[in-house]
Structure 1
Amino acid sequence: MSLYLHRRGEGPMTVQLERWSIRRFQEGALHFVGFSLDSYDGRVSTKILELDAANRTGRTESGRAYILVGPAGGDRDAEYVWNKVWRSIGGGQAWTDVTEELVPGTRRSRTA
């Protein structure tokens, strides 16, 4: 499976994620992880700058808007991407799945 970056201004500026989760690094940075309905592959966002839990939307450091579709969950492609990049984007920090904490009623927390 290939990994690729969407640079700022490249690719879709609105991303719909299915089977999504939100991960937090120890220093506090949050990232969306899920299956993109736009590119049909696993995706990890840049740092989340704004999160509207009620509307299940957010905006990230790249300027992209994310729409969280359906219930939170896990996706094999998204986990593959996350497992390849989390150490580099988080500087080796441990992370926690904070989906349930930030968007209640969606899933239980996980820790790495």
Structure 2
Amino acid sequence: MCCIKGYIPDAWECYVDCSKVYHVTSMRKIIEEKTLPSLEENIRWNKSIPIKINEHTWWLCNNRLPTRCNLDHCGIDTNSVRCPICDQALEDSQHLFIDYSIAT
């Protein structure tokens, strides 16, 4: 404890809401408002499965997986956008999870 007159200890404040205290739920709400398209209903996560499965499903449904096509679309240089395993189609979510013979 410091005994300097007028000393105020450093503190972190989060201005997400009026409480000035950081809460994960408040931050999640802000992230969803900024990044997700406006939906009439909230996203409903399935609490009986691991969060990484929920997130992967969300990424897949919103075409956000880092496939070669998505990386190329974002300006990230890849040697090819074709599937490196079969070389028969473009590597996108449709090919990886539905059309690809190994996926079925």
Q: TM-score range by the shorter chain?
A: under 0.3
Structure with the higher helix share, 1 or 2: 2
Structure with the higher strand share, 1 or 2: 1
Which structure has the greater CA radius of gyration?
2
Query: When the two structures are superposed, what TM-score results if normalisation uses the length of structure 1?
Result: 0.21
Q: RCO (CA 8 Å, sep 6+): is it higher in 1 or 2? A: 1
